[in-house]
Structures are given as structure tokens and as C-alpha cells.
Amino acid sequence: MDLKDILSRCDHTLLSQTAVWEEIRALCDDGIKYGCASVCIPASYVAQAAEYTAGKLPICTVIGFPNGYSTTKAKCFEAADAVENGADEIDMVINLGWVKDRKWDELLGEIRTVKTACGGKLLKVIIETCFLTDEEKIKLCELVTASGAEYIKTSTGFGGGGATREDVALFKAHVGPGVKIKAAGGIADLKDAEDFINLGADRLGTSRVVKAAKALER
């Protein structure tokens, strides 16, 4: 697979708790240089990054992150605020306690409400697969399909487990035709990236693919 094609599917990501503007700016520079799908950054840097990139690169941020248990109203505020600040894409974490309680109507309602708060911007729904059974993952594929969100996403990268090939294949088998897949967490190298794409991932949440591209240049 062509490196340029792999890079075009990458949400070049920096979500470290100690991330500073110098690092975010460098991430944006690399995202533009290497033709990434977006940069995925903390919400507090969205406005600055949007101004800095001046439309050259989509800006993605996270809400309800990383635990997902803030209220729906809080998630909606975060989403609307991020969009107002210049975010083009929103990655939200679902309420995993509601999954364990089998509160399917509440989960679907929350995703739909957050989607509305995104004001037409792209929404990716993080279901944090490392905490879920296959039955729960399949049910969430159904809910995300019904919600109107554009993507289902495997992981935050903060939950103790990341994307697996098995989960991406499971998503591909169970999401509706309008839902795309984002694999995130633990994508270590170009071989991983290519495998996930071949299994059905349309996006990859990672910083390592750009690092691999830089290594090839050297």
C-alpha cells in the first residue's frame, strides 16, 4: 500500500495530559506536510490550532474523554464549544456504565444528541473495546449505525488496550453501510497501519505513522 494513502487516513494524534503548544504546533506542521486526515488534539488547543493551520488541515478533538461518564449535557457543551472554536471533527467517548447496565435507549439518545450539538461536523463514537464483550461491541455497532454518527472508533488509547485486528474485523461485519471505522491505540508501525486498513479501517488514530514516514526519509 502506498505510504501517501496510509498517511491520508491518519488522524495525527497528541492527547498527552502534558502536551504544550510547541508540540501541538509541530504536530500541525507534520499533519500538513504529510497530508494527514486531521490532527487530533486536546480541546484547549483547538482555537489556536485552527488559527495556525488556517484551513490547511482538519482539526479533530475529543469530548467526554477519556472515561465517557460525564453527563450528556456536558458532552453537548464540549462538542458545541469545540466546533465554535474551529473543530472540524469530534471524537466522543460513550458512557460505558450505561453499556454494562444495558441502557441502549439512553446510549442511542446521547449519541444522537451529541451529533446534533456538532452542528453538521463529523462525529466519531469511541466505544473503548478493551472493556467490552463481543456481544456489547456488536450491539454498539447497531446503535452507532442508528445514531447518524459517521464513525465508530475502537479506543481512547487511555483504557489499557487499543485497537485489535479482531475488533476492526468485527466492526466491519456489523456496522451499517453508512458507518466508517477508526482504529486507534497501539498502532505501532506501517505494517500495523496497512493491516488495519485492509481489514476495513478508514481512519487510524496514531502518531507513529508520521514518525515512520520521517524515518524512511532519513
Q: Which of 75, 124, 180, 182 is catalytic?
A: 182
Range of the domain at 106: 3-217
The whole-number average pLDDT for the span 109-120 is 98
Question: Which pLDDT tens digit goes with each residue over 31-43?
Answer: 999 999 999 999 9
Q: Which of 115, 137, 139, 153 is catalytic?
A: 153
| Cβ proximity of 144 and 179 under 8 Å | yes
Percent of the chain at pLDDT exceeding 70: 100
* 197 Ramachandran zone, left/alpha/beta (phi>0; psi -120 to 50): alpha
Cell of 69: 461518564
Residue 182 is a catalytic residue = yes
Buried b / exposed e along 93-117 (16+ C-beta atoms within 10 A)? bbbbebbeeeeeeebbebbbebbeb
E-strand ranges in 107-153 read 122-126, 151-153
Question: Which pLDDT tens digit goes with each residue over 87-100?
Answer: 999 999 999 999 99
Structural domain count of the chain: 1
Residue 91 is a catalytic residue = yes
Mean model confidence pLDDT for the chain: 97
Q: Which of 11, 91, 167, 192 is catalytic?
A: 91
Residue 75 is a catalytic residue = no
Predicted structure pTM score:
0.97
Q: At 153, which CATH number?
A: 3.20.20.70
d(CA 213, CA 208): 9
